[in-house]
Amino acid sequence: MPKIKILPENLANQIAAGEVVERPASVVKEILENSLDAGAKRVSVDVELGGRRLIRVSDDGEGMTREDALLAFERHATSKISKADDLAAIHSLGFRGEALASIASVSRIELLTKTEADADATRVVIEGGRMEEVSDAGRARGTTLTVRDLFFNTPARRKFMRSESTENFHIASVVTHYALSRPDVSFELSSNGRQSINVSPAADIRERAFQIFGRNLLESLLPVSGDRSGVCKVEGFTSAPRERRSSKDSQYFFVNGRFVRDKVLASALTEGYRAVLPHGSHPVSVIFLELPYDEVDVNVHPAKTEVRFRRGDIVREVVADAVRSALSSGGVRTAPDIFSSRGLGKEESADDRMVPEQEVIRLVPEFRSSIGTSDVNPPEVQIEDSDVFDPRVAGLIADPLEETTHENTIDRQLDPEPRSTDYRVMSPVDSAFKLTKSVEISDVSSRTIDTLGQLHNSFIIAVDEHGLLLIDQHVAHERILFDKFRRRESIKVIKSQRLLMPEPIDLSPSQLIILEEVLGELEQMGFELGIMSGRSIVLKAVPADVPLDGARNLLLEILDRLDPDTRKSAHDSIRDDIAASLACRAAVKINMPLTQEKMRWMVDRLLVTSSPTTCPHGRPVILRLTMKDIERGFHRS
């Protein structure tokens, strides 16, 4: 008897489900795609318990005959392609013919479907891949697919499901993606009976973006458009520099109507914004690409969210060019092209690499007002007894030209601080280069440290009995503030500062899900928020120490950072994440001159924190060059 066996059909389906059905949101994605492929103009999605208990998608598409309804659950059953050539010209969202079979093998399914021509609808019930019932039923043209108890028969997978709000977050993202890709279709999403998305057919993508993201964001979106005949056409929107995020979650790419995650496109966008946004900040973009079917392969991964471009370099160039011209037609100065031959071989000056944002923004008249008002400091900002160093108020700053908002200052010579999200955590010792050593807490003492001055307005130079010390002023201050924000929370001394004008913010459906989860935490830390109708909120107050300007971006950044997938569920880690965002925002930046008093203050406060030698992201704060190494370097030992 051979040792190799052909697997039973249902087991094969469950294996396929491993790739296709990662979580409830992937079920929603597959069923939504089927509805859109069936020509639906109205799709509604209901979920319960984050999709674990129930996912129901109803559409008004072409429906299925009884015969098709039964075939649909067979493995490799599809109406969308029939021969090898079709693979080269896929114009539907689905084509693999495995989604329904896979989903049916790991859940309990009820299908209700009717075509225009049939008098009766068909009802099909399947449990764990076994057909239980086929009967007549009634409904109008279209299809309703109900998926209950996802992964009920695959306990290993069930364990991988995350909290209800995490799964809801992903489901809302999926529906958002499709709503953006198809403005002509109406979409509804409800979770446990509560509606979170409800968009009627829109005239165009701009109107749809307005329905999803609200007016605030839309005002800063610039139209993107580009073309390279025979290769690709680009349309969409991208944000002006004032609108920025700390993650790439707000970047939506669609290739021939399909939402994709793609490195080529992401890098094109980054390139388009080079020198416009500081390192670690990302734009909000909705970009649609249309390519001839043979220019792009969509059959790359079972989940169909990856594509392969035949001429990726041209696609990247077209997208980067389109983004650049969107920015410059919005009045923003951009960096030269590095992809095309024009840019090659040319030495860039420091100014080309990094255009300070104040300059950039001031070219755009409509942004002036927002910058202008943010310069005003409301009287209630307290500087005494505060760990925030606000040079505008404290008058400690050396150079009057630096009297701009912290937030808009981009460093010319040095990289701005890495963000916690993209920062590789390394041990302080590893990151210090050979000669200097990072410092152990046991060998520093505030009493013996003398501050001498600053290196490049970024590092405090100090000495103690062991040698020379370099202190990174931004991370040192970040550590001081991080401890303070955490402590403040734990002893519940809430100090906030009110915004002069409450700031309205429109959240995306998935951002709202996160906000609701962490609202209590934010309020304890000094935020005051009002939830308006739908997904609109107003920001009324922020923690006392953070700069008032950019309060809106700060909140959005916190929400972006609380990515439900990477976050531990522990309360502590949410608090730490928020404290780290606040600290990073409020800390003095590099390239900022400090007075002697301020340097002294910084060192004294740093040394009484919980961990003076590492920042909240694990970077070293202090480097030391010992007397011994100095002597050795000068051949004196």
104 vs 469, beta carbon nearer ligand ADP: 104
Contacts with ligand ADP: how many residues (CB under 6 A)?
23
90 vs 355, beta carbon nearer ligand ADP: 90
Smallest gap from residue 31 Cβ to ligand ADP (A):
7
Written as six digits, the tokens of 110 are: 């009820």
Smallest gap from residue 314 Cβ to ligand ADP (A):
29
Residue 442 CA from chain centroid, whole number: 39
236 binds, among Mg ion, ligand ADP, none (CB under 5 to 8 A by kind): none
Helix (H) or strand (E) holding 556: helix 551-561
* Interface segment toward ligand ADP; rule CB under 6 A; list 29-37, 150-158, 204-212, 605-613: 29-37
Smallest gap from residue 109 Cβ to ligand ADP (A):
11
Binding to Mg ion (CB under 5 A) within 449-468 occurs at: none
Site string for ligand ADP, 131-170 (x = CB under 6 A): ------------x---------------------------
Closest CA to 115 of 159, 65, 161, 67: 65
Site string for Mg ion, 76-105 (x = CB under 5 A): ------------------x----x------
Cα separations in angstroms, 125 against 48, 52, 107: 19, 18, 11
Task: Tell me if 489 contacts ligand ADP by CB under 6 A.
Answer: no
192 sits in the region (left: phi over 0; alpha: psi -120 to 50; else beta) called: left
Task: Tell me if 38 contacts ligand ADP by CB under 6 A.
Answer: yes
Contacts with Mg ion: how many residues (CB under 5 A)?
3
- The β-bridge partners of 454 are 460
Spell 45-80 as b/e; 16+ CB within 10 A means b.
Answer: bbbbbbbbebbbbbbbbbbbebeebbebbebeebbe
Q: Give the residue at shortest CB distance from Mg ion.
A: 94
20 binds, among ligand ADP, Mg ion, none (CB under 5 to 8 A by kind): none
Q: Are 423 and 279 in contact (CB under 8 A)?
A: no
Options 13, 26, 34, 173; binder of Mg ion; rule CB under 5 A: 34
The DSSP string of 469-536 is: EEEEHHHHHHHHHHHHHHHHHHHT---EEEEEEEEEEEPPHHHHHHHHHHHHHHHHTT-EEEE-STTE
Smallest gap from residue 186 Cβ to ligand ADP (A):
16
First to last CA, the chain: 78
293 vs 423, beta carbon nearer ligand ADP: 293
Q: Hey, how many other C-beta atoms are within 10 angstroms of the C-beta on 12?
A: 17
Q: What sign has the CA pseudo-torsion 587, 590, 595, 601?
A: positive
Q: Hey, how many other C-beta atoms are within 10 angstroms of the C-beta on 610?
A: 12
Binding to ligand ADP (CB under 6 A) within 52-111 occurs at: 59, 61-64, 72, 77-80, 94-101
Smallest gap from residue 94 Cβ to Mg ion (A):
3
Task: Tell me if 35 contacts ligand ADP by CB under 6 A.
Answer: yes
Q: Are 295 and 374 in contact (CB under 8 A)?
A: no
Smallest gap from residue 40 Cβ to ligand ADP (A):
7
Alpha carbons 234 and 433: distance in angstroms, whole number: 45
Q: Which residues bind ligand ADP (CB under 6 A)?
A: 30, 34-35, 38, 59, 61-64, 72, 77-80, 94-101, 143
Q: Which residues bind Mg ion (CB under 5 A)?
A: 34, 94, 99
